[in-house]
Amino acid sequence: MLTADAPLVLLQHGGLDNLSGKTGLAMLRYRHGPIVAVIDPAHAGCSLEAITGIPRVVPVVASMAEALAYGPQVAVVGLAPSGGRLPLEMRADVVAGLQAGLNLASGLHSRLGDDPAFAAARQAGAWIWDLREEPEGLEVAAARCAALPCRRVLAVGSDMAVGKMSACLELLAAARRRGLDARFVGTGQAGILISGQGVALDAVRVDYAAGAVEQAVLQAAAGAGPEALVLVEGQGSLCHPGSTATLPLIRGSQPTDLLLVHRAGQGHVRTRPGTVPVAIPPLPEVIAANEAVASLGRPDGLRPRVRAIAVNSANLEPRAAASALAQIRADTGLVCVDPVREGADRLLQALIQP
């Protein structure tokens, strides 16, 4: 539904400077198509780059009425709030956009297309895309991706929300700069909105989750030869007590290689306030666990290895970040790079070398 060249307005209410706006922030960083305006009343009139650090010139406005002057065709909900429900303060702008003839795209858990007020406001010919839907015709996974000739790299994390999608998209850009056949499989709302394809894994019943990943990888890898690189966006973490997403990603994609993603300086997984802290094991143990799980349930006998580590050092100053990366290299013996700060070329080389 969302084409690569459609001009967008991001509904980012209160989410330009924090993790609740990660979907829109990812689109601002990685979507190549036009983003003509961002709605965030708290930062209206401010410089987008000054707020986010993302080097993109997009006006930040206070309302949909102001955003319409920039000619958007699609309004995209850029928030990922706790519980996945549309914030009340965003409703008026959604209605205004629909009444003006805009399309609407959302990755929230709540289905906006079923909302009577939004259905009434939608104009003839416009659409509302709730992308968190289970695909039709799913089957139980059968390790079919193991027969693909291409290399399949799955990003696995030491925690949720550490930058697995960002690492994959940075690798995608680096590979394409080299002229490689590189493809991306989105498995979360931001990845799907940016790439226009993939599967919203958390909308799939558990028995079909690995099959949904398998189907998405097979579709993305169609026609790919042995030199092609398919990058599968990771979700969740084996280290997190509330996460179930990593296993179906491993089973469905049958990865040939793994990329570990870790936030520098983080010693515990992020859980709900008031819960008992859960430590992240030493990274060599995290690596061994992911490799062991990825070696099971395979018809090809392959034992995928973590070939490199993508580090999210956004919370550290440059000198502290460099020190943290050096320590992780010493602890693991692996190539270790912050792909957002440093580019992904060294990670890519580690992944594609024999």
Phi, psi of 284 (to 5 degrees): -60, -35
Beta bridge partners of 61: 39
All structural domains of the chain with their residue ranges: 8-130, 144-352
Superfamily of domain 8-130: NAD(P)-binding Rossmann-like Domain (3.40.50.720)
197-240 pLDDT, tens digit each:
899 999 999 999 999 999 999 999 999 999 999 999 999 999 99
Rounded percentage of the chain residues whose pLDDT exceeds 70: 100
Q: Helices marked H in the chain — which ranges?
A: 22-30, 48-52, 64-67, 91-99, 116-121, 164-177, 189-195, 206-220, 246-253, 283-294, 318-332, 339-342, 345-352
272-305 pLDDT, tens digit each:
888 999 999 999 999 999 999 999 999 999 999 9
C-alpha separations of 186 from 59, 138, 154, 241 in Å? 27, 17, 11, 23
Confidence at residue 80, expressed as pLDDT on a 0 to 100 scale? 85
Tokens 């940016």: give the residue: 194
61: nearest Cα among 125, 5, 16: 16
42-52 pLDDT, tens digit each:
999 999 999 99
The domains spanning 8-130 and 144-352 adopt the same CATH topology? yes
Percent helix / strand / coil, the chain, rounded to 5: 40, 15, 45
> In terms of DSSP bridges, do strands 60-61 and 35-39 run parallel, antiparallel, or are they unpaired?
parallel
C-alpha separations of 101 from 39, 105, 290 in Å? 17, 13, 47
Domain 144-352 has CATH 3.30.379.10: no
Return d(Cα 84, Cα 101) in angstroms, integer: 25
